[in-house]
Amino acid sequence: MTVPARVTRMPRELKLFAGASLAMGAAYSMFDATFNNFLDERYQLTGFQRSFLELPRELPGFLVVFVSALLWFLCSRRLGALALALGMIGTLLVGFVPSNYAGMILCLFVLSLGQHLFMPVSSTIGMELAREGQTGRRLGQLNAIRNFATILGSFVVFLGFRFLGFTFRHTFTLTAIGLAVGMILMLAMKRSEVKRPGHFLSLHREYRLYYVLNILSGSRKQIFITFAPWVIVTVFKQPTQTIATLLTIGGVIGILFQPLLGRAIDRYGERRVLRIEAFLLAFVCLGYGLAKFLFPPRTAFLLTCAFYLMDQALFAVNMARSMYMKKIALDPSHVQPALTAGVTIDHVFSISVALMGGVIWKAFGFQYVFFLGIVIAALNFVAAGRMRIPRSASSGEAQGSPSG
């Protein structure tokens, strides 16, 4: 079946959510492709100062469970629209309002709150729109759409800065427009059922391994988000279009890789996929830390870019954690609150790793930050090995009907 035919046959709600994911992905890829160079050129930050910026940037991730509890009366789709609206406002504030570093931090907080509110909502809606037994496949398809969006957004940045005389304000404006489109599409979706949760702010003992996996995921994620692009920008002295090019290539890889990853999770299970991710992550961190010291400058830079792309692809494995939570949930109403709590737990440790990484970078050198990543990968490998899926959940997944 051709792609246009498949799109035509998609249910209305899936079309709208896919469109919103496309707009959001393109928007945030434009922001991500320029943000580190924006910081370097506008504020001339050191490695330690860059890591400290993750405190206000990641604090909304810690607060998201509390904000979600206050907004319990919004269904997942309306909460997603609100998250995109906050992202739009925050992007415009970062690009146009602050004249100093302190003002930029406050504006960045608003943007980050929108980003983090959307994280658990995105997984919840994706699983709602999946047929039984095809959850991994559906999440993989949606992630592939976001990767296509990454290609579009980062390619716009590459063309704009290389040939069209773009400034950072151009990309921030385009980011805000993309988020506005996504918000409108989310508002067009039908409201989903809302149940007042009694446990948004409580943790369940039965889900403790899921929380541990989020701790390790958040710690690993922060090394990639904060320090990996900062190495490319400051250690290898690369311009804005370099990160944009890497995001474009990573998007192409993701389009091919993520649907296959989703099917692999459905077929082989979350535990096996997460253990493979941990092994590959250790390899990536080792290469990122040592390439500059073992190879000539040009070769070291190309290898670092390759490790960056591999790490970017591995981010998609996070869908396995969401699927694991869905399978072990004692009640379906626990899923979104648990995913939201997972984001908060994730960010308690990701903030700590960002600050710790900044101290390590300043005291010993950037390579030791990635050696810390190897330790995190090893712990992730051990934790994933302890995963057990209830027989009823695993058999239900295996018996699901084919999905379009």
The structure tokens listed for 271 are 């535990």
pLDDT of 397 reads 44
pLDDT of 181 reads 96
Q: Region 266-281: what's the mean pLDDT?
A: 89
Most confident stretch, 12-21, 133-142, 310-319:
12-21
pLDDT at 306 over 50: yes
pLDDT of 379 reads 93
Band (198; pLDDT cuts 50, 70, 90):
low
Lowest mean pLDDT among 228-232, 372-376, 380-384: 228-232
pLDDT at 104 over 60: yes
DSSP H or E run through 372: helix 366-384
pLDDT of 66 reads 79
- Cα separation, 129 vs 19, whole angstroms: 14
State percent of the chain over pLDDT 70: 90
Band (396; pLDDT cuts 50, 70, 90):
very low
pLDDT at 402 over 80: no
pLDDT of 403 reads 35
* Higher pLDDT pick, 177 / 226: 177
Residue 275, CB half-sphere, CA atoms under 13 Å: how many? Answer: 11
pLDDT of 86 reads 93
- Cα separation, 3 vs 145, whole angstroms: 12
Of the candidates 193, 175, 218, the one whose C-alpha atom is nearest the C-alpha of residue 24 is 175
On whether the CB atoms of residues 251 and 148 are closer than 8 A, the answer is yes
Residue 182: exposed, middle, or buried by beta-carbon count in 10 A (0-12, 13-18, 19+)?
Answer: buried
Over residues 106-118, the pLDDT tens digits come to 888 889 899 888 8
* Higher pLDDT pick, 404 / 35: 35
* Higher pLDDT pick, 281 / 256: 281
Per-domain residue ranges of the chain: 11-189+206-398
| Complete DSSP assignment for 262-314 | HHHHHHH-HHHHHHHHHHHHHHHHHHHHHHHHHS-HHHHHHHHHHHHHHHHHH
pLDDT at 4 over 80: no
State the CATH class of domain 11-189+206-398.
mainly alpha
Lowest mean pLDDT among 47-61, 72-86, 261-275, 276-290: 47-61
Q: Region 115-132: what's the mean pLDDT?
A: 80
Which is it for the CA torsion 366, 284, 152, 145, positive or negative?
A: negative
Most confident stretch, 153-157, 181-185, 259-263:
181-185
Band (20; pLDDT cuts 50, 70, 90):
very high
Q: Kindly report the number of other CB atoms within 10 A of residue 184's CB atom.
A: 16
Q: Region 288-311: what's the mean pLDDT?
A: 91
Lowest mean pLDDT among 74-83, 123-132, 233-242, 307-316: 123-132
DSSP H or E run through 104: helix 101-128
Residue 195, CB half-sphere, CA atoms under 13 Å: how many? Answer: 11
- pTM of the predicted structure, to 2 decimals: 0.66
First to last CA, the chain: 10
Q: Region 340-358: what's the mean pLDDT?
A: 79
Average pLDDT, the chain: 81
The structure tokens listed for 117 are 């509110």
